[in-house]
Chain A
C-alpha cells in the first residue's frame, strides 16, 4: 500500500506551498525520570519516580499554606507570584473549559463544584465547556474549537500529559491558559493548579501503615492500573516508605478499580497467607470492598487507607476501623475559576499553585463525614457553601 507514502509526498508539496497549519512550532521535551532501587517485596521502582519532586512534595506537607484560613481552595503553599497585568481587561468575561472527561465520581463531583463556583461570579458573562469523553484526540479538537469562540481565558484539565502538550501550547499564544489536575510539559500556561500531589498521597498512607502495623507484618498493596502518572507517583512514594520500614509487602496487585475484583483479590490473599496485617490502596474507590473481604472472612479489619469518599468514611465510623484517608481534593475544581478571574483582573497568581492536601484521620473524621451524601461523594469538595448544596451533588437536605 503506497498510500501513506503518497500522502507524505502530497504533504511535502503542500508544506512547500505554504499551507496553513494549526500546530504549534515547538514543544519542550519531558524531564527524564530517574532513580531505581530494589526493595523487599515491592519490586523495581517506577520509571515515573523523580526524587526531587518526591522530596519537594513530602516537604510541602508540613508547610503552612498562605491564604484565607477556611478556604483551602484559595490557599497556596510557598507561592511564587507572577504578574498578570498583560491579561487585564474589563468584564463581563467569557470563560472556556476543556474537560478531559466526567467519567468517574471524582470528576463528577469536581465538575458540579466548578459549575457552582462559576454561578457565584456575576462578572462571568458566559461559560463554555466541552467534554472530551476521555479521548485525547477529541480534546485536541476541543481546544482548537474553543479558541475560535472568543474566550477570554481557557481552563484545561488535560486527559494525558504528553499528548495534550502541543494543543495547550498552541492555545497559550492566543488566550491566558489555566491548567489543573494533570499538568502539561510546557510552562506556557499562566498557572498550573494542583494539590501537593501523588507522592504525598502515597506516603501519607504508607507512613500510617508503617506506624500501625506491627513489625514484620504482611501488607497488601492494591493499585488500580499501571502506567497512569498520577497513580504511579502514589505507589512509588509508598514503595520508598515500605522499603525503609520493617514491613513485608506480600503482594502488589492491580484491581482495575473494580470492586468485585478487589474483593476477590483480598479474599485470595487472606486465604493464602492466613491473615493480612495492613492494606495500602492507591485510590479509595474500592476500599470498602477490601474491608468487606475481611468482614466476610470473619476477620478483624487490619489498618487500611481509603480516600475521602463517603462510603469509606461511613464504613470507617460504623466499623471503627484503624484507618487514614489521604485525599486528592475535589475542591481544586473551584480554584481554576478563581484564578481565571484574578488573571483577567490583572491580579497576581502563583505560577504553580500548590493547594493544601489534607488527610482525613480518626480525629478529623467527624468533621468530614456528612450525613445524607451519596456513597461515592468526595468529602473534600469544598462545596458546602456553594449554591445548590447538597441536592446538586446528589445529597439530601437535613
Chain B
C-alpha cells in the first residue's frame, strides 16, 4: 500500500481536475462509468506487472487481445449457446500464449522483448490468415453482456476489475509473489536459494496471457468486433505499470500501484479530452508526463546495481 501512495496521490489530483470540468464523475454513476472504461487497461496492467517485476516484457498482449476478439466472433457466430464454451476457450488460449512466451524466454534463453515481439507478429498474422483478412461472424448478446451490462447499477467490468485486483494482490502476498520479486531482483541469487526461476517466470507470462484474455472479453463486450480492438495496448499497459512506479528490469514495485497507474493513465486521457487539448498534442503531453513520472520515481530510489541476464536495460 505504501508504495502505491505517490501514484494514488497523482490519481486523486487528476480526478479532482476532471471533477472541476465535469462534476458528474463525483456521482456514483459517473465514477462507475469511468472505472468501467478503465477496466480493460487495469486488468492488462495487472498481468503486465507480473512479467515486468520478474524482469521481462510482454509486447504481445495487444495483438493477443485483437486475436481473442476476432477468434470469439468467428467461433460464436451469433450463437448464444456457444458463449460459455468460447469464453472458456479464450481463457485457455490466453494461458497458452503466455505459456509459449514463457517457455521460449526461459528455456531457449531468447530475450522476452524478442519472443513477445515475434508472438505479436505471429498472432496478428495468423488470426487474419484464418479469417481471411477481416473479422467474420458475430459476438452473442451473452458475450457482450460482460462489457455492456451490469449487476444492478454496477457494471460487470467493474466487478471483474475488483476480482482481478484482489486476486493479483493475494498472489503477490503468497509464496509466488515473494519468489517472483526475488527472481526479478536478482535471478541468480534467487536460483541459488532454491527458487525455480524458470517456472516462476513462465507462470508470470501465463498470468499476462490470462489478463489479455479477460481484457479481450471486456473490450469485445464493450465495443463489439473490431480488427483493431487491442491496438497499442501493449505500450499502454507497460506505460501504466511504470507510471505506478514499477521498475523495468524487475524486482521492485507493487501490483496495486501498477493498477493505480492504469487508472491514472485513463484519467489522464479523460482529462486531456475534457480540457480540449488538441488531439495531436495529447501525445506530447503524455510523453512528457511519462518521462517525468518515471524520472521522479527513479531519482528518489537509491542507485542499486543488480546484475541480471535478460532484456535491454540501460542505466539501472
Q: Are A375 and B132 in contact (CB under 8 A)?
A: no
Q: At the interface, yes or no: A160 with Cβ under 8 Å from chain B?
A: no
B24, B223, B273: the one contacting A263 at CB < 8 Å is B223
CA distance A169 to B22 in the complex (A): 54
Q: Which stretch of A81-89, A104-112, A188-196 is in the interface?
A: A104-112
CA distance A374 to B136 in the complex (A): 5
CA distance A41 to B39 in the complex (A): 33
Q: Are B225 and A376 in contact (CB under 8 A)?
A: yes
Q: Are B135 and A375 in contact (CB under 8 A)?
A: yes
Within 8 A of B (CB), among A109-137: 109, 111-112
Q: At the interface, yes or no: A22 with Cβ under 8 Å from chain B?
A: no
B263–chain A nearest beta-carbon distance, Å: 15
B126–chain A nearest beta-carbon distance, Å: 16
A105, A268, A311: the one contacting B273 at CB < 8 Å is A268
Q: At the interface, yes or no: A33 with Cβ under 8 Å from chain B?
A: no
Interface residues on B, range: 20 to 34
Q: At the interface, yes or no: A258 with Cβ under 8 Å from chain B?
A: yes
Q: At the interface, yes or no: B286 with Cβ under 8 Å from chain A?
A: no
**Residue among A105, A254, A376 facing the most chain B CB atoms (10 A cut-off):** A376
Q: Are A259 and B131 in contact (CB under 8 A)?
A: no
Q: Are B224 and A105 in contact (CB under 8 A)?
A: no
Q: Are A260 and B134 in contact (CB under 8 A)?
A: no
Q: At the interface, yes or no: B231 with Cβ under 8 Å from chain A?
A: yes
Whether A108 touches B132, Cβ cut-off 8 Å, given contacts A259-B229, A271-B24, is yes
Q: At the interface, yes or no: A272 with Cβ under 8 Å from chain B?
A: yes
CA distance A260 to B279 in the complex (A): 17
CA distance A375 to B131 in the complex (A): 12
Contacts of B138 in A (CB 8 A): 311, 374-375
Q: At the interface, yes or no: B306 with Cβ under 8 Å from chain A?
A: no
Residue interface bits B60-85, CB-to-A below 8 A is 1, else 0 = 00000000000001000000000000
Residue interface bits B251-295, CB-to-A below 8 A is 1, else 0 = 000000000000000000000010000010000000000000000
Q: At the interface, yes or no: B14 with Cβ under 8 Å from chain A?
A: no
Q: At the interface, yes or no: A102 with Cβ under 8 Å from chain B?
A: yes
Whether A292 touches B279, Cβ cut-off 8 Å, given contacts A257-B228, A394-B132, is no
Whether A108 touches B229, Cβ cut-off 8 Å, given contacts A263-B222, A271-B30, is no
Contacts of B30 in A (CB 8 A): 271
How many residue pairs link A and B with beta carbons under 8 A? The number is 76
Q: Are A374 and B137 in contact (CB under 8 A)?
A: yes
Whether A102 touches B226, Cβ cut-off 8 Å, given contacts A260-B219, A296-B148, is no
B73, B228, B279: the one contacting A254 at CB < 8 Å is B279
Q: At the interface, yes or no: A267 with Cβ under 8 Å from chain B?
A: yes
Q: Are B136 and A258 in contact (CB under 8 A)?
A: no
CA distance A262 to B224 in the complex (A): 11
B33, B135, B136, B231: the one contacting A267 at CB < 8 Å is B33
Whether A109 touches B148, Cβ cut-off 8 Å, given contacts A258-B226, A268-B273, is no
B227–chain A nearest beta-carbon distance, Å: 7
Q: Are A109 and B229 in contact (CB under 8 A)?
A: no
CA distance A108 to B134 in the complex (A): 7
B233–chain A nearest beta-carbon distance, Å: 10
Q: Are B33 and A375 in contact (CB under 8 A)?
A: no
Within 8 A of A (CB), among B10-42: 22, 24, 30, 33, 37, 40
Closest to B37 in A: A264
Within 8 A of A (CB), among B218-246: 219, 222-229, 231
CA distance A397 to B273 in the complex (A): 45
Q: Are B228 and A376 in contact (CB under 8 A)?
A: no
Closest 9 CB pairs of A and B: A259-B223, A105-B134, A260-B223, A108-B133, A374-B136, A108-B134, A394-B136, A259-B226, A376-B134
Query: 20 more A-B contacts (CB under 8 A) besides A258-B223, A271-B22, A289-B224?
Result: A102-B133, A104-B134, A105-B227, A108-B132, A109-B134, A112-B132, A258-B226, A258-B231, A259-B224, A260-B229, A263-B223, A264-B37, A265-B273, A267-B33, A285-B226, A374-B135, A374-B138, A375-B73, A375-B135, A375-B224
The interface of chain B, by Cβ under 8 A from chain A, is 22, 24, 30, 33, 37, 40, 73, 131-138, 148, 219, 222-229, 231, 273, 279
The interface of chain A, by Cβ under 8 A from chain B, is 102, 104-105, 108-109, 111-112, 226, 254, 257-260, 262-265, 267-268, 271-272, 285-286, 288-289, 292, 296, 311, 374-377, 394
